[in-house]
């Protein structure tokens, strides 16, 4: 028990002294993860649209060549950024830009570099998830949209991507949670996220384990809240299981001119109001003044 009380004491000490730093780290980690995941999803959706532009033999040659080039670029992007470690990509881009431009260009803030790296990394993964999401939507949906005259872009934005998006929310959640954790490698370009503060703090006082315990609890809390929120979003997007029948007429028409199979005209015995009126009449007799 001695060890545990010591741990609690140490954690209390650390927290008491450095709680501002820890919370600042949490804030930076969350902002980076949210922004980069959002941008990554947009990159993924754009890649998905570009990858699925239909190409038929009837199209003019320049269009076909252009489509081939676009597909090649998207493919190369996905393979390169999926196939190398993010920590290396960060170093590569952060130091590569000044190196190549003779220090003329450099990242004005480490924020921009971190967001860029995590976004394009997430985008590479999301491009494949979006492709899977698009494939999973019934081809009949595309035909239905084409049959009413929508072009590829309209079909994608109005019909396919909303359904694909719903299908890939679990994937987006995966990426978001991975980003919360893996943005910790951004300490390599001295981005001060949650884990970077652990390194600074333990560098001062050597309390590695108590600080790691704080980090563990912190990361787990963030990811648990994230997955809870994503579940809630999924539920919301699915919409209500029930729907309301619209009983009154949306188009106001003169009495007797509308005709609905389940409802009939106002003078028809199938009409509920008429039936009710007859029932009332039989019960109480015909009201005065109504003939």
Partner 1 sequence: MADMILEIRHLSKSFGSHEVLRDIDFTVSKGDVTAIIGASGSGKSTLLRCINLLEIPTSGEILFHGKDVTGKGVNAPEYRSHVGMVFQSFNLFANMTVLENCVRGQVKVLKKSKAEAKDNALRHLQRVGMAPYINAKPRQLSGGQKQRVAIARALAMGPEVLLFDEPTSALDPEMVGEVLAVMQDLAAGGMTMLVVTHEMAFARDVSTQVVYMSEGVICEQGAPADVLEKPQMQQTKDFLARFRKG
Using CA of residue 11, residue 15, residue 18, residue 23, what is the dihedral sign?
A: positive
In terms of phi and psi (left: phi > 0; alpha: psi -120 to 50; beta: otherwise), the region of 269 is: alpha
Does 151 interact with partner 1 (rule: CB under 8 A)?
yes
Distance of CA 282 to the CA centre of its chain: 61
Q: Exactly one of 147, 254, 255, 282 binds partner 1 (CB under 8 A); which one?
A: 147
Provide the minimum distance between the beta carbon of 183 and partner 1 in the complex, in angstroms, as a whole number.
32
Does 281 interact with partner 1 (rule: CB under 8 A)?
no
- Which residue stretch of 41-49, 101-109, 137-145, 277-285 sits at the interface with partner 1 (rule: CB under 8 A)? 137-145
Provide the minimum distance between the beta carbon of 274 and partner 1 in the complex, in angstroms, as a whole number.
17
Cβ atoms of 122 and 39 closer than 8 Å:
yes
Q: Exactly one of 148, 204, 254, 255 binds partner 1 (CB under 8 A); which one?
A: 148
Other beta carbons less than 10 A from residue 42's beta carbon:
14
Question: Measured between alpha carbons, how far is 194 from 35 in angstroms, rounded to an integer?
Answer: 16
Instruction: Give the nearer residue to partner 1 in terms of CB position, either 165 or 200.
Output: 165
> What residue has token string 């922004």?
35
Q: Which two tokens stand for residue 159?
A: 């019909």
Question: 188: helix, coil or strand?
Answer: helix
Does 163 interact with partner 1 (rule: CB under 8 A)?
yes
Instruction: Give the nearer residue to partner 1 in terms of CB position, either 124 or 130.
Output: 130
Which residues between 93 and 132 bind partner 1 (CB under 8 A)? none
CA angle 165, 119, 233 (to 5 degrees): 35
Instruction: Give the nearer residue to partner 1 in terms of CB position, either 105 or 237.
Output: 237
Which residues between 218 and 277 bind partner 1 (CB under 8 A)? 239, 243-247, 249-251, 258, 260-262
Question: 92: helix, coil or strand?
Answer: helix
Does 79 interact with partner 1 (rule: CB under 8 A)?
no
Does 159 interact with partner 1 (rule: CB under 8 A)?
yes
Does 58 interact with partner 1 (rule: CB under 8 A)?
yes
Instruction: Give the nearer residue to partner 1 in terms of CB position, either 139 or 289.
Output: 139
Does 140 interact with partner 1 (rule: CB under 8 A)?
yes
Instruction: Give the nearer residue to partner 1 in terms of CB position, either 163 or 202.
Output: 163
Question: Measured between alpha carbons, how far is 208 from 201 in angstroms, rounded to an integer?
Answer: 9
Cβ atoms of 116 and 93 closer than 8 Å:
yes
Question: Measured between alpha carbons, how far is 222 from 26 in angstroms, rounded to an integer?
Answer: 8
Residues that bind partner 1 (CB under 8 A): 56-60, 138, 140-141, 143-151, 154, 158-159, 162-163, 166, 239, 243-247, 249-251, 258, 260-262
């Amino acid at each position: 028990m001695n060890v545990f009380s010591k741990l609690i004491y140490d954690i209390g000490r650390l927290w008491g002294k450095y709680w501002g730093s820890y919370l600042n780290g949490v804030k930076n980690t969350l902002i980076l993860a949210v922004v980069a995941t959002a941008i990554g999803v947009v990159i993924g959706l754009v890649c998905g649209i570009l990858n699925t532009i239909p190409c038929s033999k009837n199209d003019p040659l320049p269009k076909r060549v252009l489509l081939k080039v676009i597909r090649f670029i998207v493919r190369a992007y996905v393979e390169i950024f999926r196939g190398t470690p993010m920590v290396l990509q960060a170093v590569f881009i952060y130091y590569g830009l000044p190196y190549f431009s003779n220090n003329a260009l450099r990242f004005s803030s480490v924020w921009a570099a971190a967001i860029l790296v995590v976004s394009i990394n997430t985008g590479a993964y999301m491009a494949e998830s979006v492709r899977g999401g698009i494939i999973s939507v019934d081809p009949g949906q595309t035909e239905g949209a084409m049959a009413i005259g929508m072009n590829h872009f309209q079909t994608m934005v109005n019909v396919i991507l909303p359904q694909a998006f719903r299908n890939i929310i679990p994937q987006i959640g995966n990426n978001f949670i991975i980003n919360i954790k893996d943005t910790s490698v951004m300490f390599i370009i001295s981005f001060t996220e949650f884990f970077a503060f652990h390194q600074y703090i333990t560098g001062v006082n050597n309390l590695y384990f108590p600080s790691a315990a704080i980090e563990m609890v912190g990361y787990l809390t963030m990811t648990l809240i994230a997955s809870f929120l994503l579940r809630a979003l999924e539920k919301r997007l699915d919409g209500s299981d029930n729907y309301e029948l619209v009983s009154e007429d949306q188009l106001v028409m003169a009495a007797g001119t509308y005709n609905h199979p389940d409802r009939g005209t106002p003078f028809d015995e199938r009409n509920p109001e008429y039936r009710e009126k007859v029932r009332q009449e039989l019960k109480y007799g015909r009201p005065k003044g109504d003939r």
